[in-house]
């Protein structure tokens, strides 16, 4: 029965029952964590070949007399650029290989815009009297933190089931101070949304007042399907070529959650002019990234089929965890009218919305009972969730037993927070 249909006495009885359950969790002294969007150790073990399959001297001898052990090849090994081309459909000559972190490449790209301007900038962004960046929310806190640190005003944009609210994006892009937008187009962090073809096409075709409007297209979860059949994401550069807007897009991904987050391979892709600028500025900052790690990755994952096999192994481990969380949420919160949550087909997160004004209290109650949740507000620009209702849940890192317990603490905390509010009103 929905809480809204229950009498005050029934609500009070339910509150007392849950209060006792919560107290039992508090006394049990658990230390659990649902906040870390990281692979668990059994997932990392799937990439043992990176630790055990050696690269020998012969592997290091590259075409053209180059030696992978030495300086050089600043754009990345041609084979690694071809590898990412096969995964993304982007021509290899537009692909740049970085170190282990795509987030670092995103930061470097936006700092480049600040210092030198993007391909079509009238002046460097740091010389703009006002600069704003669009932030689809709920979204990824580390994205928002980059543009906040660089002095952009962050403008929240609503997320719908097929991507950001494009009417809103197009309306806001009519302001020349709006210089760009963050996007996680597949299995978005944290909503799990994959952008529809229509949304992707609107990004490529929309009018923007700023000539250097930049779409930060972070395809972090491009092959991270939970089901055998993944969701389809349109090729944004194909649309952009058709619309003449290739310079608008900065594309990023990495093998962080394919192999090892601490030692993976990151990539970026740009339109031709932007690629040349990126290669030039990065060429000033480094003589080249770790090519031996690129060789190790190519040995372990020579082609797209090998990646698919690797991702099926990840999915086999992750599916069970997403199922545990879904089962507890639907068993404990289903039909009460106090929470809705996402049912992602891939990626690393579940996004939980509770009754307005109850997320912070849920966080506190869970913490008292030994469960750390992602900080409330983290999924919104500047850490401010205007409705105090969103919680990002990360089921991948804890063991299955820990996850089950943490999910039970969470659902007790949600119900208590909502009942407190109802009983106070
Ligand atoms: C959307 C998104 N982008 C980027 C990253 C980090 O990527 P990398 O490890 O390549 O820096 C994460 C990590 O959770 C993420 O969720």
Tell me the average pLDDT of the chain. Answer: 97
Residue with tokens 């106090």: 338
Q: How far is CA 53 from CA 293, 301, 342, in A?
A: 11, 12, 39
- Find the Cα–Cα–Cα–Cα dihedral 33, 374, 219, 217, rounded to 10°: -170
Ligand 1 centroid to residue 182 C-alpha, Å: 13
Question: With a 6 A CB cut-off, is 102 part of the ligand 1 pocket?
Answer: yes
Overall domain count for the chain: 2
263, 401: one domain: no
| Cβ(247)–Cβ(274) below 8 Å | yes
120, 210: one domain: yes
Q: What is the pLDDT of residues 187-225, one digit of tens each?
A: 999 999 999 999 999 999 999 999 999 999 999 999 999
95-97/371-372 β-pairing: unpaired
Question: With a 6 A CB cut-off, is 99 part of the ligand 1 pocket?
Answer: no
Mean pLDDT of 261-267: 97
Ligand 1 centroid to residue 104 C-alpha, Å: 10
Query: How far out from the chain centre does Cα 59 lie?
Result: 34
> Which residues, listed in sequence order, are joined to residue 5 by a DSSP beta bridge?
none
Q: Which domain holds residue 375?
A: 3-43+308-424
286, 313: one domain: no
Ligand 1 centroid to residue 266 C-alpha, Å: 10
214, 144: one domain: yes
Give the pLDDT confidence score for residue 383 in this predicted structure: 95
Q: Is residue 48 part of a domain?
A: no
Query: How far out from the chain centre does Cα 281 lie?
Result: 26
Q: How far apart are CA 210 and CA 218, in angstroms?
A: 21
Question: With a 6 A CB cut-off, is 35 part of the ligand 1 pocket?
Answer: no
Q: What angle do CA 214, 217, 221 make, to 5 degrees?
A: 170
Q: How far apart are CA 373 and CA 366, in angstroms?
A: 7
Q: Is residue 74 part of a domain?
A: yes
Q: What is the pLDDT of residues 333-389, one digit of tens each?
A: 999 999 999 999 999 999 999 999 999 999 999 999 999 999 999 999 999 999 999
CATH of the domain at 37: 3.90.1150.10
Ligand 1 centroid to residue 64 C-alpha, Å: 34
Helix residue ranges, H only, 286-399: 291-300, 304-333, 359-368
Mean pLDDT of 130-141: 97
* Residue after which a domain boundary falls, among 271, 303, 335: 303
* Residue after which a domain boundary falls, among 262, 280, 303: 303
Question: With a 6 A CB cut-off, is 124 part of the ligand 1 pocket?
Answer: no
Q: What is the pLDDT of residues 283-331, one digit of tens each?
A: 999 999 999 999 999 999 999 999 999 999 999 999 999 999 999 999 9
Mean pLDDT of 274-290: 96
| Portion of the chain with pLDDT greater than 90, in percent | 97
Q: pLDDT tier at 425 (50, 70, 90 boundaries)?
A: confident
Q: Is residue 393 part of a domain?
A: yes
9, 154: one domain: no
The pTM score is 0.97
Give the pLDDT confidence score for residue 8 in this predicted structure: 96
Question: With a 6 A CB cut-off, is 101 part of the ligand 1 pocket?
Answer: yes
Question: With a 6 A CB cut-off, is 184 part of the ligand 1 pocket?
Answer: yes
Give the pLDDT confidence score for residue 163 in this predicted structure: 98
Asked if residue 174 has pLDDT above 90, the reply is yes
Asked if residue 64 has pLDDT above 90, the reply is no
Per-residue b or e along 19-34, where b marks 16 or more CB atoms closer than 10 Å to that residue's CB: eebbeebeeeeeebbb
Ligand 1 centroid to residue 258 C-alpha, Å: 12
155, 61: one domain: yes
The full length of the chain comes to 425
Q: How far apart are CA 192 and CA 390, in angstroms?
A: 14
Asked if residue 54 has pLDDT above 90, the reply is no
Q: How far apart are CA 247 and CA 261, in angstroms?
A: 29
Q: Is residue 322 part of a domain?
A: yes
| Portion of the chain with pLDDT greater than 70, in percent | 100
Token couple for 301: 């994952």
């Amino acid at each position: 029965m929905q809480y809204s249909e229950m009498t005050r006495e029934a609500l009070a009885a339910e509150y007392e029952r849950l209060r006792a359950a919560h107290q039992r969790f508090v006394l049990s002294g658990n230390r659990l964590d649902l906040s870390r969007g990281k692979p668990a150790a059994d997932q990392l073990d799937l990439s043992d070949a990176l630790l055990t399959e050696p690269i020998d001297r012969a592997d290091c001898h590259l075409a053209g007399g180059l030696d992978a052990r030495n300086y050089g090849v600043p754009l990345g090994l041609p084979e690694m650029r071809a590898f990412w081309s096969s995964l993304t459909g982007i021509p290899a000559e537009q692909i740049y290989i970085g170190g282990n972190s795509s987030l670092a490449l995103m930061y470097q790209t936006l700092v480049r815009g600040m210092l030198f301007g993007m391909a079509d900038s009238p002046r460097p962004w740091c010389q703009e009297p006002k600069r704003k960046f669009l932030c689809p929310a709920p979204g990824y806190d580390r994205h928002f933190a980059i543009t906040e640190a660089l002095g952009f005003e962050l403008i929240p944009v609503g997320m719908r089931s097929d991507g950001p609210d494009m009417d809103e994006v197009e309306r806001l892009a009519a302001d020349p101070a709006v210089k760009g937008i963050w996007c996680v187009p597949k299995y978005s962090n944290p909503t799990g949304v994959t952008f529809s073809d229509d949304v992707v096409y609107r990004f490529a075709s929309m009018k923007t007042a700023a000539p250097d409007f930049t779409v930060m297209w972070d395809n972090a979860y491009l092959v991270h399907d939970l089901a055998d059949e993944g969701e389809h994401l349109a090729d944004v550069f194909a649309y952009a070529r058709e619309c003449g807007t290739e310079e608008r897009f900065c594309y990023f991904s990495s093998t962080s959650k394919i192999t090892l987050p601490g030692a993976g391979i990151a990539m970026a892709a740009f339109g031709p002019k932007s690629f040349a600028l990126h290669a030039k500025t990065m060429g000033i900052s480094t003589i080249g990234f770790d090519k031996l790690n690129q060789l190790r990755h190519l040995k372990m994952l020579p082609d797209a089929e090998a990646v698919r096999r690797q991702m099926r192994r990840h999915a086999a481990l992750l599916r069970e965890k997403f199922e545990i969380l879904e089962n507890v949420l639907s068993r404990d919160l289903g039909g009460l009218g106090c929470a809705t949550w996402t049912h992602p087909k891939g990626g690393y997160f579940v996004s939980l919305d509770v009754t307005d004004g109850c997320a912070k209290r849920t966080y506190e109650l869970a913490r008292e009972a030994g469960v750390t949740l992602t900080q409330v507000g983290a999924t919104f620009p500047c850490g401010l969730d205007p409705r105090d209702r969103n919680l990002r849940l990360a089921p991948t890192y804890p063991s299955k037993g820990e996850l089950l317990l943490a999910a039970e603490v969470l659902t007790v905390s949600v119900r208590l927070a909502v009942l407190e509010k109802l009983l106070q009103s």
